[in-house]
Amino acid sequence: MKHYTNSLRIITLFSILAFLPTAVLAADGYKAPRAADGVHPDLNGIWQALNEANYDLEIHMARPAMALRDGPAGPVPAKAVVALGAVGAVPPGMGVVEGGKIPYKPEALAKKKENQANWLERDPEVKCYLPGVPRATYMPYPMQIFQGEGSVFIAYEYAGAVRNIFSEDPGPAPVDSWMGQSVASWDGDTLVIDVTGQNGETWFDRSGNHHSEQLHVVERYTPMGPNHIQYEATITDPQTFTKPWKISMPLYRRMEPNVQLLDFKCVEFVEELLYGQYRLKPLD
161 lies in the same domain as 39: yes
Does residue 211 contact residue 61 with C-beta atoms inside 8 Å? Answer: no
Cut 0.85: pTM above it: yes
pLDDT cut 70: percent of the chain above it: 90
168 lies in the same domain as 141: yes
Residue 283 lies in a domain: no
201 lies in the same domain as 245: yes
**Which of 118-139 are b and which e, b meaning 16 or more Cβ less than 10 Å from the residue's Cβ?**
ebbebbbbeebbbbbbbbbbbb
The CATH number that applies at residue 121 is 2.40.128.20
C-alpha to C-alpha distance for 228 and 267, rounded to whole angstroms:
31
85 lies in the same domain as 181: no
Render pLDDT for 49-92 as a digit per residue (tens, 0 to 9): 999 999 999 999 999 999 998 999 888 999 889 999 999 999 99
**The total number of structural domains that make up the chain:** 2
Residue 235 lies in a domain: yes
Q: According to the model, what pLDDT value does residue 26 have?
A: 47
Residue 12 lies in a domain: yes
Residue 284 lies in a domain: no
44 lies in the same domain as 169: yes
What is the rounded radius of gyration, in angstroms, for the C-alpha atoms of the chain?
A: 20
71 lies in the same domain as 123: no
Which domain, by its residues, includes 85? 63-91
Residue 107 lies in a domain: yes
Phi-psi region of 277 (alpha: psi -120 to 50; beta: other; left: phi over 0): alpha
C-alpha to C-alpha distance for 220 and 187, rounded to whole angstroms:
9
C-alpha to C-alpha distance for 79 and 30, rounded to whole angstroms:
51
Pairing of strands 45-49, 152-156: unpaired
Q: How confident is the model at residue 284 (pLDDT cuts 50, 70, 90)?
A: confident
